[in-house]
Amino acid sequence: ETGVTQTPRHLVMGMTNKKSLKCEQHLGHNAMYWYKQSAKKPLELMFVYNFKEQTENNSVPSRFSPECPNSSHLFLHLHTLQPEDSALYLCASSRTSGETQYFGPGTRLLVL
Amino acid sequence: TQLLEQSPQFLSIQEGENLTVYCNSSSVFSSLQWYRQEPGEGPVLLVTVVTGGEVKKLKRLTFQFGDARKDSSLHITAAQPGDTGLYLCAANAGGTSYGKLTFGQGTILTVHP
């Protein structure tokens, strides 16, 4: 499955580091999403982009900064994270906002 | 905030048994999806249901959307070890929340050989 790819697959970072997560979709979709998946909690929507415009910020702390340079690429810039930010970060895309979403494999993030 | 309640949270069964997973809410949804997720991977879409009362079949999996579009079930017949995984329901509320999926907490299914 190469529809939605995410890099890196695993990331360990200290609380003072700056890192970025990358998502790329090859499905010709126009909407992209970032989700956070923590143990024993439902998937949490973080950000939504529709035609490169951010349409949703679900009260996400500013230490997470999304960027969508075009409809195929989505980044999540990370800065001064906390240990409780350790989780699986999932990217998804859909043809347009509201349609069925297709997920990438995720980036497993560990903040020390 | 719409909530989706999935049950059971954990299910451990023997190969060949049947099982049903439920997804319930007090809210009406315009559509509902079922996903399956394996460890270390992202959720993979199994089905989308949009019409109240709709039934869809995918090999040994049968999905049903409630008449009132507030609940759904996933039934697996003759489960196999390859069915092991996390099953997630997700719903699109529509209206001003259109485009936002609400996820249930998931059902972890383990099928023993």
DSSP A43-84: -EEEEEEETTEEEEE-S--TTEEEEEEETTEEEEEEES--GG
- Whole-number pLDDT of residue A2: 66
Task: Please report, for residues A92, A93, B68, B69, B86, the alpha-carbon distance to residue B26 in angstroms, rounded to integers and kept in the order given.
Answer: 26, 27, 10, 10, 23
pLDDT band at residue B17 under the 50/70/90 scheme: very high
- Whole-number pLDDT of residue B98: 60
- Whole-number pLDDT of residue B92: 80
CB-CB under 8 Å, B45 with A55: no
By Cβ distance, the residue of B43, B98, B100 closest to A45 is B100
pLDDT band at residue B94 under the 50/70/90 scheme: low
Of all residues in chain B, the one with the smallest CA distance to A55 is: B99
Top mean pLDDT of A49-53, B16-20, B28-32 is at: B16-20
CB-CB under 8 Å, B99 with A31: yes
Who wins on pLDDT, A6 or A15? Answer: A6
Hey, what are B43's tokens? 């959720």
A92 vs B contacts (CB less than 8 Å):
42
Shortest distance between the Cα of B37 and any Cα of chain A, in A, equals 10
Whether residue A32 lies within 8 A of chain B, CB to CB, comes out as no
- Whole-number pLDDT of residue A41: 83
Give the contacts of A104 (CB within 8 A, at least 6 positions apart): A4, A5, A6, A23, A25, A90, A91, A92, B42
Q: Which of A90, A103, A109 to mutate to test the interface with B (most CBs of B within 10 A)?
A: A103
Whether residue A50 lies within 8 A of chain B, CB to CB, comes out as yes
Who wins on pLDDT, A101 or A1? Answer: A101
- Average pLDDT over all residues of chain B: 91
Hey, what are B71's tokens? 């609940």
A98 vs B contacts (CB less than 8 Å):
92, 98-99
CB-CB under 8 Å, A43 with B40: no
How far apart CA B34 and CA B65 sit, in angstroms, is 11
Average pLDDT for A58-64? 92
